[in-house]
Each structure stands twice: as structure tokens, then as C-alpha cells.
Amino acid sequence: MLTPLLDRAVIPDLKKLIDYWKIHERIAHIRQGSINVLRHLQGQTTNEPSSPLNAAPDITQEPSGATCYEGYENYCINYSQRYSDDALKLIAQYSSSAELLAFVHSLNENEGDSLLEAANDFDETLTDTKTMVDFAVLKTFIDRAYANIKRAKRKTTATPLSLEDVIAAFQTLMNEPEFKNILECFEPCSKSLESIKRIHADSTNKGQSKRKRIFDIMADSSFTFIHESINVSGHVDDRFDVKSQKQSMRYDDLSELRDRARLIEYSNNKIKNETDREIEELHMFVILVDTIETILSILTSLYMAGHPYVLEFLASRKVFECKKGDYYDLIEFNSKLDTLLQEWESHLCTMYKKYINLTYFSRQQIWTIEESLYNKIDESVTHAGYHLLKFIGIESKLIPIRYLSERSTDPMVRLENVSRILTTQHPMSDVTVLLDSDNQFIKPVYLVETTDEGILRAILSLFQLGKELPRVNHLFYCTDKTSWFETRAFIYRCFYSQTLQQLIRPELLSPLIQDRFVGLLTELFTSKPKRNFQMSIITTSQTGHWRLLNGLRTLQIVYSVHDQEMLGKEELENTIQKLLGNNDAWVTSQISGLGKSTYIRDEILRMNKHYIKFPIGGEMSADILAERLRNQGAQLASSTAALHIDIGTIENAQQLNELLYCLLLFRSFRFGQEAIYVPPDVPIYIELDASPHTSNLQERMVILKYLKKKHLNSIDLNLLKVNTWPEFHGVIAYLQAIKKGEINGKDINPEQFENELKQKRFSVNTCLELMEEYFIQNQNMEFLTWTKLSIFIDVYYKLFLGFSRCGYFLAEFTRGSQLRIDILQTLLKSSDQFTSVSVEAVRNSQRSVNESNISLSEAVVRWDTIKPFTVVFTDTDVPLFVYKKVQDVPRSLVAEFESYKRITGSTDLLLPNFDALTHVQFFLKLVKLSKKYDNKPICKNCFHQYEHTVEQCTECNTPDTLLHPVKAKSQDIETILENMGRKLEATYVLTPDNYIKMLLIYLRVQSGVPVLIMGETGKIILRLRRLFAKVCLK
């Protein structure tokens, strides 16, 4: 388009200038790249290597047209016409990817190999595998190119290294297939450079390489075995581990090295430095870690099987050494532990056959029981052993001392002593026993397939089918954490007790345990073919194709219980009602704040029982709940207490359902290692949180439908406890004075509030009438809560307190004026924004299923929706008036301001237009809320405050002394506050909308009401909170 307008003589030159400008950045990178690569290869640090592009214009400056023209011609002659485009792109990378190449240069060949190995041990959140491979290719390319250049220079030592030599070496390698796409490696590696550096640093911190660390361990190392209890999502997991002191390693680290050793040992691509001796050491290291792994497995098995001295084995912190590949002590320790485990398991299984009660306990539970029996702990009802015994129906206090033989140190003797005591208190004659029969096929396994909600019905139906009384210790709940030792004990209990034991959710057992289950049962059937046996299985698996069930079906002993054979609706309800306590109940409400907790507490006190509140929420752990209940003390185990279970938002509704029906029906539960027992004469009240979440929770907790229910639809104001609430009397005193018209001529002193309470001047009816007139009549009773009423009282007590102390509103100064009554009536009309905003809209949205959710803007305080006029009092009881328009201000207040201006001759705008106020003006109003800037010295520069003894700021090191508000002029203080406001404006701007929000937040905080600030994700809420704390709070 421009060609016809230009002189033909200048067109070629102009075209070159335009072409130059298109690629000027690339030219600059090629120039700097050539300098960088030559500097690195020549080893120069000060003198810049010669480059054909040294005269090229510097892009950091503004070159002339002639310089650009000359530089472009130089580039065309010496570069673009001589070298390939790919070669020039590679040279340019020495500038654009200088940091990447500097890191590549810093790594030796071994470190590059180690870095690629270390990348396999890091997750792909740092970088992906392809990037690490690209980096390895790039490192290999650079190393080989430099090696080729050095070899070539040895042949021509007379001439210095030139850029042409470098590019020739690069071009040769780039033609090879493995380096064909070398240019594509730079960009991803540059982007992930920090991650690559981190992987390198982490791998370097652990050692030079995994191979070297393995040889170090085999040369000289020491190991100690330890026990740890780790809380994983509320489940306490007992773990055994090993510590290598010299190498600072645990088992996981050793296992990782073992994998590397196996890889090297069996790899067909061994590196050239490996010797037969090194291969042998790698093999010995694998055996070493295998031995440690076996020891840890045996220690875990001994602990799970309940050996009492497992932890004592580790208490000595015995050190096992490995010197020059010799770790004989470790091998011997492994052998001793293995023998101990076999002997203990054999003895344990023998005890199971003789003492059925022993099968109920695993791990260290039996020794917990032993401790409670022998030590006769004073408050035994809080001891875990007491509750474990109650779980199987034994009262520890009734065990005669004569049964307690001398305590032995032999674990097997100890086991038999405790087992014998349990059996004497709970003999087999107490249970219904199926006699041995010649018919070897009387071995039914009852199978019920149901849902989570149908498990309770299945449990009670099976007890009736087996003609047994429901017992909680006959229920065995399976989880993915259930061990083989617990499962084996259950099998022995089923086989030798001849009572109906129930296995619930066995599909959760690991496949290995399911296989061993069938194997052990088959073995017992073979050894005693005429022994009667019965067991029930309750499963929620829909397919029914899992190993345990398939294995039992091959034995032809599974009998499926159909729905019509189980308890009907009426029979189930009758059975549950017989098990429930007479005073057990659950309390609900449509919305929160209607007094569920108060109702329960009053009911418990009416029964003259000790009130115990027990909240449950979040990620629930049955063991932790049992421990918390046990720690409630002796009163929970007596008939003088009542339990209030307050249920909030629950993660695991299924476990809560099972926990509740066990506690309510059987008065005991044990889902892990901890058991709890609550006496039948302790009433249990259950409170459900009033939120949308609990509506689904109620459907899943089937036991609730059988409890007596109390539903609260609204608050009962007749339950108002007026004589125990001094703030309430203060508010009522004001309301009564307003109603009688006495407020204009009468001051009400705050000190009188307590006297009003002591004299019981106000009756309940008087209080209710005043609350009805000034607060309740404008409320929707369906959404009126005790919480809202409490906030109303707390906030208005603070407002009336400020009003009574404010000198502007004293009765002696406002006689003949309606100012006092106007201000107070305005405050009463603003009750909604002082308490809760749009509560009804939010509640209706929560209840509605079909309607869309309410928007956030409808449920918050906004400038356009607030009352036309309101008042807030500062710390010094100075009133801050908030209004939309001056016309909204009461006439009596306008008249007072006009009178003030006439008397003082002031020209200040006392009633400004809020929509026209600036950020700084709003800031100065907010500063008045607190006295924090009226007493302490302040820095003029950073606005930090100090104690009176400090003279100079230590934050910003300004030479100026601090400004003392007491000594300074008011104008100086206001200037500092204005500067502070301007500085804060850079992070958060005050408007009428957030100004009124801050005032209402301040009022709630001063009234002792909790405040929740919500908003979009980001920094705005944080800035609002910081600004509010800095300006308004002490």
C-alpha cells in the first residue's frame, strides 16, 4: 500500500529495516548466545570472545536507523547465509535459556544420571516424566557436543576455538536420530527449571546416589525397632518401624532402596563400574531389608495377637548393627521372634477352645482387663477394662478377690489366669447351647442380604430366629481395617460357643482374610465333624459374589433368610420398644435457635438428674467417642445422670446409625478397641442439628423413628427466664419508659439495671407485653428464635447504655424537645439490621427443594436496603448518625444541629450527604469509634503505635520523634489520620455500603455477639478484616 507513495531508491533499504525489526530480538539472542557459548568453552571470564555480531545493535538501547541497517546486513552475511536455521536457533538458546544451560553446565555426568533416577521417586505435581526425559536428552546432547569439540581442538591447537567450530559440532549431532528434536526440549525444561532444581536438591540432600547409600548401609549401619500410635482420620493405627541412626532412615526409605537394588541386580544393562563384589553386596542388602520387613511383620502380628511383652521388647532400644555386610544379630532376633509368634498363636488358639470369653478381645485389651482386675483402680467405671467387661456382660466389682491368683510374669500363665476369671463369671451354662449331633450337616450359616438401613431389622430378626436374647457382644462388624486375628477369634467363638454370632459386612474383609476364614472353618469342621455350629452373615453387597460367601456355599451350609421370614413392621417395633429406655427421646426443630438444648436440659433437671452434654460432629471415630464418653466420669455410670447427645454435621452417617442403635438398645458398643457402657437407667436424649443436612441424616438413622419425639415449631416465650438476665431488665426499663412517655424527662442510669433485677420489678407478663409491642409484633413468629431475641437484647442493651451516657441526650439538656424519644424510636425501628438480615428468606430457601437458592446479595446488609436513619455510639459514647438522605433525619435532631450552629457560629456541614463523602472522610468517621488513637504515641510515617515510654519508631527508623496525642494539637492528629486513610485507600476503598457494614460489625462486637464475615474467595474479606481491626478495635 505504501509502495506508490515512496521513493523507489529507498524501498530496498526500508525493506531491510522492516525485516530487521521483525527479527531484532532473535538477532540479539544469537549475538549474546554466541558470546555465551564461546565464553563457556574457552573458559574466559573477563574478556568478551570475538563474535561477528559484536557490532549488532543492543536491544536495551534505542539504535539509529543506520545502526539497524548495518546490523541486519552483518547478520545476513555472517549468519543466515552461512548456517542453518536450526543451528542459529540453538545458538540463540544460549541467551534466551541461559539459566537452564547454566544449570546443565553445573551437573556432572553422574549427577545427570542420578537426577533421572530421582525423578521416578517424585510425584508428577512437580514435573512430568516427559520433561525429565527431555532434560536428560538435552544434558546428553550438550555433554557429547562439548566432548566432540574438545577432541577436534586437540588436532588443531594452533587456531583458537571459533563459533564456526561450535556450530559444526552442534550441526553434526543434530543430524543424529536421537537428537533430531533437540530444539523442542528447551521450552518445557525452562518452564520446569525450578522443579528440576528442587528434585536435584532433594536427591542431593539424601546422598550422592541410591547405589552409594546402599553400599554405605552395608559397610556400617545400626538399626533400632520402635512402636508408634498414629491417628489417621480418627482411627488410631499402631505401627512398628525401624530407625537407622547413622543414615537417618526408616523402613520406607530402606524399602525404596531395596527396589533400586533389585532393579540393578537383575538388570541386563549393568553399568561398567559394577563388580561382582558390588553385585553381591546389593543381593545381601535385599536380604537385609527382607529380614527387617519380616521382623516388623512379626512384631505387628504379636501385638495384634495380644502378646503382653511386645512393647517391652522394644523398650530397651536394642541396637542391631550391620558391619561389612554382617548382620547376624538381626537374623537371630528374627528367628527368636518367629518362634515366639508360633508358640503364642498355638497357645492362643488352644485357649480359645477352652475359654470362649477370650475370643472377644484382641491386641492389648485382655491386659487392660487384667490391670483393672488386679489393681482395683478406685474409679474403675472410668477405666477401659471396666467397659470391656461390661461389653460381654461381666460386672468387675462382683468378682471375688479369691479368684485373683498371684500375678505371674509368664505371658501364657497370665493369659490363662485372666481367661479363667472371665469364665467363672460368665459360664457357658448362661447361654443356650446346641448339643453335638450325629448329623454333621446341622451347621447353618444364615445369610441376609439387605441395605445399610435394614441391618438393624436383620440383626433382631436373626436373634429371634436363633431363639436368643439380643446381645451386643454377639455382633461382629467388619471394616477394611479388620485384622485376621480378630476374624480368627470370631470363628473360634462361633464354633465353640455354639451360640448364634452375627458377622456384619464381611465383604469388607480383605480377600486374603476371606480365604483364610473358609480354610479355618473347613479345618474345624474336619476335626470335629459332629459339632453343631451356627453363624449368621448380614451383607449389604448387592452382587453376593465375594470369596467368603462363595467358599461357604461350596460347603453347602448357607441358608438364605428371605424377607418374609424376618420381623414384620409391628413385630420389629415391639422388639425395639422392649429394649429402649422409658425416658429416651429425640428433639428436633424446623430451624435452629428454638431452644432444643434448653428443653432437654430442663427435662433432665426436672428428673433431678445430672446433665451431661455430649456433642458429635465432623469426622466421627467410634473409638474416640467411646473414650470421650468414658471420660465423663463416674456419674455417667450411675443412675443419677442423663445424657444429651447433640448431633451436628456428620461425615459418616452409617457408623453413627450403628453406634446409636447399639447404645440405645444394648447400652454398649465397641466398634474398634474402645468399649463403652451406659446403664439402662440413664436417660438418653438426642438432639439433631436443624439444617438441610440432617433431613437426609434422619432417614438413615432408623432407630430414631422408634424413639419418643419432641418437635419444636417455635419458641415458647413463657419459658423466658427474666429474673436471671440483667441486660434484659435494662432493655425492659427503657421500653417501659418509652411506652409511658417518661423517657423525655427522665434519665435511666445503667447502674439501676442490676437493682431492677434484684427487686424483680418486672413480671414475666410485663416483659412479654413490652417485647411484643416493640420487637415481636414485627417478626414472623415462624422464624423468631431465642438466638435472635438474645442478639436483640445484647445489642439494644449496648445502644441504650450508650444513649444514657451520651451528654448530648441527657434529659436536662433536651427539655421541651422530642429528641430523646425520636432517637430511641428510630433505634427500635432498626432492630432487623441490628440482629439478623433476611433470615426468613434464607430459611425459606433452605426448606425449598424446587426453588433456586437465594442470592448472596439478598441476605446481606446493603446501603440501598438499610433503614433511612440509625445511630451507633462510639467507645466514648459519641453518636454516629447514619442516614440515606438529610430528609430522613428526625426534625428534632435537625433543629438541635441548627441551634448549635446559631450559638457557636459554626460553618461546618454537620449533616453531610453520605453519597458524596470520600474514602478519607469515611475513614475519619470510623476512627472515632475507638479511643486507640487518643492516648498512645503514633509514628507519623508508618502509623505504628507505641507505649508512652517510647520516643522513636523502631519499625521504619524515621528520625522524627513519635507524636503524643495528649501533647499534640488536634489538627496534627487529624492530619496523621488523614494520611493513614489515604495510604489504606490503595488496598481497600470505603463506600457508604461497607461503612454501614463496619458500623454494624462494630456494634455486634461491642455487644459481645459473634460475627461471621462472608464473601467471594480472594483478598477483599481479608483486607476488610484488617482495616476493621486496625481502625475500629482496641
Contacts of 483 (CB under 8 A, 6+ apart): 304, 362, 513
270 pLDDT more than 50: no
* Calpha distance 149→165 (Å, rounded): 7
638, three cell numbers:
450411675
* Calpha distance 620→234 (Å, rounded): 7
* Closest among 165, 217, 147, 155 to 38, alpha carbons compared: 165
pLDDT score at 971 = 78
- What distances in angstroms separate CA 988 from CA 715, 864, 880, one per listed residue? 42, 20, 22
* Calpha distance 730→820 (Å, rounded): 17
648, three cell numbers:
451436628
* Calpha distance 669→667 (Å, rounded): 7
* Calpha distance 585→570 (Å, rounded): 20
Angle at the Cα of 1024 from the Cα atoms of 1022 and 1030, rounded to 5 degrees: 100
* Calpha distance 238→228 (Å, rounded): 6
Our measurement of the distance from residue 280's CA atom to the centroid of its chain's CA atoms, rounded to an integer in Å, reads 47
Highest mean pLDDT among 361-370, 951-960, 1021-1030: 361-370
926 pLDDT more than 90: no
pLDDT score at 121 = 57
46-55, 837-846, 957-966: segment of lowest average pLDDT: 46-55
227 pLDDT more than 60: yes
pLDDT score at 273 = 44
Contacts of 275 (CB under 8 A, 6+ apart): none
pLDDT score at 431 = 43
**901 vs 676, higher pLDDT:** 676
1031 pLDDT more than 60: yes
Which CATH fold would you assign to the domain 445-469+476-555? Rossmann fold (3.40.50)
**Maximum Cα interatomic distance, the chain, rounded to a whole number of Å:** 125
pLDDT score at 897 = 83
Give the model's confidence band at 345: pLDDT under 50 very low, under 70 low, under 90 confident, else very high: very high
231, three cell numbers:
491417628
* Calpha distance 764→760 (Å, rounded): 10
- pLDDT one-digit tens code per residue, 366-389: 998 888 887 765 457 888 888 999
Q: Measure the CA dihedral 188/190/195/197, to 10°.
A: 140
DSSP H helical ranges for 192-306: 193-206, 210-219, 251-266, 276-304
For residues 563-576, one letter each, b for 16 or more C-beta atoms within 10 angstroms of the residue's C-beta and e for the rest, the string is eeebbeeeebeebb
Given this chain, do its domains 445-469+476-555 and 580-713 carry the same CATH topology? yes
Highest mean pLDDT among 162-176, 516-530, 942-956: 516-530
* Single-letter amino acid code for the residue at 347: H
472-481, 626-635, 920-929, 1021-1030: segment of lowest average pLDDT: 1021-1030
Give the model's confidence band at 256: pLDDT under 50 very low, under 70 low, under 90 confident, else very high: confident
Q: CA-based Rg of the chain, rounded to a whole angstrom?
A: 42
Count Cβ atoms below 10 Å from residue 533 Cβ, excluding itself: 21
* Calpha distance 474→340 (Å, rounded): 31
Highest mean pLDDT among 623-637, 676-690, 705-719, 924-938: 676-690
The number of CA neighbours under 13 Å toward the Cβ of 758 is 5
554-558, 671-675, 961-965: segment of lowest average pLDDT: 961-965
pLDDT score at 486 = 94
The number of CA neighbours under 13 Å toward the Cβ of 318 is 8
- pLDDT one-digit tens code per residue, 329-339: 999 999 999 99
Percentage of the residues of the chain whose pLDDT score is greater than 70 = 79
pLDDT score at 429 = 40
pLDDT score at 958 = 77
* Calpha distance 167→451 (Å, rounded): 74
213 pLDDT more than 80: yes
pLDDT score at 314 = 80
* Calpha distance 931→935 (Å, rounded): 7
| 1034 in Cβ contact with 930 (< 8 Å) | yes
The mean pLDDT of the chain is 80
So where are the chain's domains?
11-201, 207-340, 355-430, 445-469+476-555, 580-713
| 675 in Cβ contact with 668 (< 8 Å) | yes
What is the pLDDT averaged over residues 678-686? 92
pLDDT score at 520 = 93
Residue given cell 463506600 in the structure block: 991
Length of the chain in terms of residues written = 1034
Give the model's confidence band at 346: pLDDT under 50 very low, under 70 low, under 90 confident, else very high: very high
Give the model's confidence band at 852: pLDDT under 50 very low, under 70 low, under 90 confident, else very high: very low
**267 vs 954, higher pLDDT:** 954
pLDDT score at 583 = 85
1000 DSSP assignment: H
CATH of domain 580-713: 3.40.50.300
- pLDDT one-digit tens code per residue, 753-801: 656 555 556 777 888 888 888 877 767 777 788 888 888 888 888 888 8
DSSP string, 723-735: GG-HHHHHHHHHH
* Calpha distance 550→412 (Å, rounded): 37
pLDDT score at 232 = 60
- What distances in angstroms separate CA 915 from CA 922, 990, 993, one per listed residue? 11, 11, 10
800, three cell numbers:
441504650
pLDDT score at 964 = 81
402 pLDDT more than 70: no
- pLDDT one-digit tens code per residue, 874-888: 888 888 888 888 888
pLDDT score at 772 = 82
* Calpha distance 920→902 (Å, rounded): 28
| 883 in Cβ contact with 914 (< 8 Å) | yes
- pLDDT one-digit tens code per residue, 421-468: 888 766 544 444 443 444 444 568 899 999 988 999 999 999 998 888
pLDDT score at 271 = 41
Contacts of 719 (CB under 8 A, 6+ apart): 595, 598, 602
Give the model's confidence band at 46: pLDDT under 50 very low, under 70 low, under 90 confident, else very high: very low
* Single-letter amino acid code for the residue at 427: P
